[in-house]
Amino acid sequence: MADFTPTRLFDLLPQIYRIRDADPSINGALEALLDVVDQQVGSVRDDIRQLWDNFFIETCDDWVISYIGDLVGTNLVVPIVLRSRTDVAKTIHYRRRKGTVPMLEELARDVTGWSAKVVEFFQILGWTQNANHVRLDHGGWFDVHDDVICNAVSTAFDRAAHTVDVRVPAQSEGWYNIRNIGFFLWRLQSYSMINADPANAGQPHRFHFNSIGQPEPLFIQPDVEGLSEQAADEDNVRGPISPRRLKPVTVAIDHADPPDANGLVALHLIPPDALLVKDWPIGLWLELIDPNDATKTLSAALVDVRDNGSTLMVTVSAAMTSQTQVRAFPHLPTYYGQRRGFSVFADGELISPNATNAAHQRRVLIGDLCDWRDPDPGTLVIDVRLGRFAFAPGETPADPITVNFNYGFSGNIGAGPYDREVVDAPTTVVTQSGAVSLDQALTDWQNSPPAEAIIEIQDSHTYHLALTSLAMPAQLFRLTIRALSGERPTIVLSGDLQLTGGDASSSVTLDGLFVSGGQIDLQGALGQLNISNCTLDPGGGLSSDGVTLRPMQNSLTVAATDTDLNVVIAESIVGGLRVPNAIENMQINDSIVDAQGGVAIAGPGGANDYAARSTIEATTIFGQCWLQELTLGSEVLFDDVVTVRRKQNGCVRFSYIAPNSDTPRRYRCIPPDGASPEEIARLTPAFTSTRFGDPGYAQLSRSGPIEIATGASDGSEIGAFFSLKNPLRRQNLVMRLAEYLPFGLVAALIEVT
């Protein structure tokens, strides 16, 4: 409809009435009256105009969504990932392809927000086939020497034939039957680190993708564009990159022709091997091998595949002599140098055989670096399972090395390259290549502090902070040190960072930072300390050798003299907290406090020293807690004993409380009052991993008690990932499948991660 500016009613009156209304004795009473009428007319006009917009789901008011949903006959799901508006808008889109595998996968992705792969289990049943309709790709024997097929058995990408399983389909059993269809779900998210600094592994040619040197698997960042028409494959799910997916393929050369006029060499393969290469992508890196002499390996680039795979046209780096085999990583170009996979750069250029700078040219291989075996000269070996890479000794590029990769985690807790709400503009910008370093920015603030300062780090590089103390001014100030939204910088301390001096009405905020190398030691006066979307390295993860564990470490210690302090920790991962009961208050929500085997929250003295009055919500705590008062504990998972000194105040609700704990009154907590020893043992929480740095860190295990997985106030899980609403996502999917699943089929929801 055409937009227009309405005319005021008062302006439409004859001039004589407007003149009289301006008389001081009347003082504009008529104009004021008509302005009130104008407002009501405007409301009616806007409502009439909105009626047209309310015909369409894209533009209608929120209250209209349910009515349009009734018109198309859909039941709205709980709006967690799929908004109600989108749910109704895609109803017809779903129904037009109802029951097809791509449609069911798209439905599962939209409703849960997880990657999904649908498997019709009857397709991989072994049966005697009709000789008039033989289907060679459905069931039968397979080559047990092929580790790709063998490793895929009992996964979403299984191609082996199975006998019938008549049990009810569930997480790990009853899959293979005519009526069964499996929904494989990857619950972990994949986060992309762009232009990050790798951590050295003790030798100049060995590196970790992780910025603090922890082994972690590299994940896939899937591209779901176009999946509405085709089923998902291994490249389209948010899971760890499988080494078998990137395994090399070696084929034999029957003979090679001399180079043609364009310098291309035709490699003629032994016919059975042609089936392996016909789908190789153009531009693939090849290695021409002499099986008897590894020093005679030549690099080549694939230019064309001819004769249905029996002839390869390549460009060779040198003249061929005794090379009789071709080795390639056919799926490597899908991952290396791509956003979905991983990349290694030197001075901003991708390290590859085709690099412009000769110093950056390397053959890129996928291998196992669990024992840090040195690569052959001229190669870059990447271990996707441990997140490591290595050059040959003495061949590390002299230029700065950066990496792109993806890592997995359950949700947006702790520092991460996800979008965060950033309101105020920064007063100081810090980048790796900028003129101002982090040390310089903090020193400048310390020397002449403004009333409000925001220091923003605008990349994901690693910053080694030389400062060991920061003097806060004895005047009102607000200091914020944050990461740019979408970035995850790492700050490596040179020891504990002491904050001294200060003002009891001022505040310090840390936002979006990964801090390692020491704890924050607050010695001065401060009004508020905010820690949001941060990871204060708690230790406990794997060390760079991939075997031993790093020692646990505290993240925050507060001096007992700071009585006006409020500590707020939100959506963060922290180690032990030493906060005296003399401070004003401590609030923790949507976080993980990790001090396994030790004391998670206590006063400066540790065990038996009570911490400040606290409010804790939706948090997982590994380690003992000693609290002066627990004002509110809601959806908290206390994995170890919690002792509260002042029990007449406060309450704990919808939480797991470890046995032998001493807390204020409880409401619907686990285990329930009066539970038997057997019941208490059964209700012990189980985790996918309790090791910091693992993708499944602090995630509730599939084998754990259902009471904890659905024990929150709204039926969600108890603990740090309460806000993810995972049980409700499953419920939404079950609700949708009742409408869209083909008649007679039984769905099994199978959580892969």
* Tens digit of each residue's pLDDT (9 = 90 or more) over 681-707: 888 898 998 888 889 898 988 888 888
- The span from the CA of 220 to the CA of 334, in Å, is 11
- What pLDDT does 4 receive? 43
Q: Give the per-residue SS3 of 378-445.
A: CEEEEECCCCEEEECCCCCCCCCEEEEEEEEECCCCCCCCCCCCCCCCCCEEECCCCCCCHHHHHHHH
Tens of pLDDT along 554-571?
888 888 776 778 889 999
Kindly state the DSSP code that residue 353 receives in the 8-state scheme: T
Tens of pLDDT along 662-686?
889 989 988 888 888 888 888 889 8
Q: List, in sequence order, every residue forming a beta bridge with 689; answer none if it has no partner.
A: 697
Look at residues 320, 290, 316, 291 and name the one whose alpha carbon lies nearest to residue 302.
Answer: 316
- The span from the CA of 393 to the CA of 260, in Å, is 37
pLDDT class of 591 with cuts at 50, 70, 90: very high
- The span from the CA of 627 to the CA of 599, in Å, is 11
Its pTM surpasses 0.75: yes
Question: What's the alpha-carbon Rg for the chain, to the nearest Å?
Answer: 32
Kindly state the percentage of the chain with pLDDT values over 90.
Answer: 4
Tens of pLDDT along 481-507?
888 888 899 988 888 888 887 777 888
Best-predicted range by mean pLDDT (24-33, 298-307, 669-678): 669-678
Q: Is the previous residue joined to 671 through a cis bond, with omega within 30 degrees of 0?
A: yes
- What pLDDT does 737 receive? 84
Contact criterion met (CB below 8 Å) for 179 and 153: no
Contact criterion met (CB below 8 Å) for 533 and 555: no
pLDDT class of 87 with cuts at 50, 70, 90: confident
- Single-letter code of the amino acid located at 531: I
pLDDT class of 1 with cuts at 50, 70, 90: very low
Contact criterion met (CB below 8 Å) for 751 and 117: no
pLDDT class of 572 with cuts at 50, 70, 90: very high
Relative to beta strand 265-269, strand 249-256 is antiparallel
Tokens describing residue 103: 């449609």
Tokens describing residue 633: 């504990």
Q: How many CA atoms lie within 13 A of 519 on its CB side?
A: 18
pLDDT class of 272 with cuts at 50, 70, 90: low
